[in-house]
Structures are given as C-alpha cells and as structure tokens.
Amino acid sequence: DAGITQSPRHKVTETGTPVTLRCHQTENHRYMYWYRQDPGHGLRLIHYSYGVKDTDKGEVSDGYSVSRSKTEDFLLTLESATSSQTSVYFCAISEGGQPAQYFGPGTRLTVT
Amino acid sequence: GDSVTQMEGPVTLSEEAFLTINCTYTATGYPSLFWYVQYPGEGLQLLLKATKADDKGSNKGFEATYRKETTSFHLEKGSVQVSDSAVYFCALVVAENFNKFYFGSGTKLNVKP
C-alpha cells in the first residue's frame, strides 16, 4: 500500500472558520491531488500539485486553497468554511507519467 | 469531453453469484481505464487497470476487458463473496493529461450470505 496519511481523520467546525487538512506521503511522488466525495457526484478534483510550490485548480476549486512547501506534504485550506463544504476529502498521489493514482484514507469534514 | 458512465446501484447479490457492473466511457484521446474499490470508511484502492484496447485487467478474481469498439470496461467476477461488498468506481485518464482522472459516480455492491 502507498504510504499516504491524512489528518485529521474527522473534524467538525463552524461556518465561517478556516480549516486546514493535511496530506502526507512517504513515496516521494511528484503529483498530489485533493478530491471531495459527495453522494451522487463520485469524486471531484479540487486542486492538484505537480511539484513543490507548483499547483493548479481542479473542477471545484472555489473556496479552497492549497500549498505544497515540501514534496511530502500537501495542505488544503478552506478559507471560510460553509455548510456546502461538508464532505469527505481524499488525497491522492501518483508518479510522473504513470496512469494510476493512490488514495489516502480520507477526512470526514462537517461544517455546522 | 471525457467522461465515464457506470450503472446505478445498489446491486444486491447472493454469495457465489456472478457479478457484472457496467462501465462505458467517452474519451477524446487514448484512455487508460481503471476500476477502484472503496470499502466502508476507507479510501479508494486500485483494483485493476488496462492501458490499451483489448487488454484485460484482473485482480482478486475480478476482471475487466478494455473494449474500444463498444467503449466499455465492464467489471466481472464469477463468484462474489460477502467480503466483496463495497462501492466500485470506474475511471479513465487520457495519455495527454495523466493529472485529469474522470471517475464514475460509483456502484454499491451488497453481497448477502
């Protein structure tokens, strides 16, 4: 199994507060991704990174920002959490040029 | 554009029954195709993949064949077990952009003893 951890695994927060989720990998893979999973929508890409300090937007990036200061860590920040951001968030990694992604265990976020 | 469509669930089967979960795709380039499985409370795990037409991916008794003529990648297993109960996702990525995965909405499988 790919070495991917996410923290926290569960979080409850209030509307309007900032929240940061962390993804940590031990595989030294170049590419890292943040998805959200909601019933009926499958997985939707929020942001991804193709190297340290190199990031790009996915299809549902509004209200989210990311940072990658080290190869092993990719942070997702909800600048001002809203109830529509209640979801399960998954981090994934992949090797450059390889058509497969490996997923972390997920973070369940509830915004009240 | 690129997309994946998979059959609606849930699918409920008795143990040892034959499983088929349908997946069809639309792709502008040359896709690689995947099946992922998600057990309750866990992340997605890569189950199998196929990277070119007529390839068959297989793992843990599951199989899927990349059919370019029908743009399909149906998942099959000859004899399901209770432990196969999970949500299954079909996905594709095109060679022109390995960062852009397209996932189906998932099919929940319930296997009864």
Q: pLDDT tens, A26-54? A: 999 999 999 999 987 888 999 999 999 99
Contact of A87 with chain B, judged by CB distance below 8 Å, is answered with: no
Question: What is the predicted pLDDT for the residue at A95?
Answer: 83
CA neighbours within 13 Å on the CB side: how many for A38? 13
Contact of B69 with chain A, judged by CB distance below 8 Å, is answered with: no
Rounded CA-CA distance A80/B93 in Å is 32
Question: What is the predicted pLDDT for the residue at A39?
Answer: 83
Residue A1 has pLDDT above 60, yes or no: no
Look at strands B19-21 and B75-77 and give their pairing. Answer: antiparallel
pLDDT in tens, B35-66: 999 998 889 999 999 999 999 999 999 999 99
Phi-psi region of B98 (alpha: psi -120 to 50; beta: other; left: phi over 0): alpha
**CB contacts, 8 Å: B95 with chain A:** 99
Structure confidence at residue A97 as a pLDDT band (50, 70, 90): low
CA neighbours within 13 Å on the CB side: how many for B104? 31
Q: Which of B43, B104, B106 sits opposite A103 (nearest CB)?
A: B43
Structure confidence at residue B1 as a pLDDT band (50, 70, 90): confident
**CB contacts, 8 Å: B37 with chain A:** none
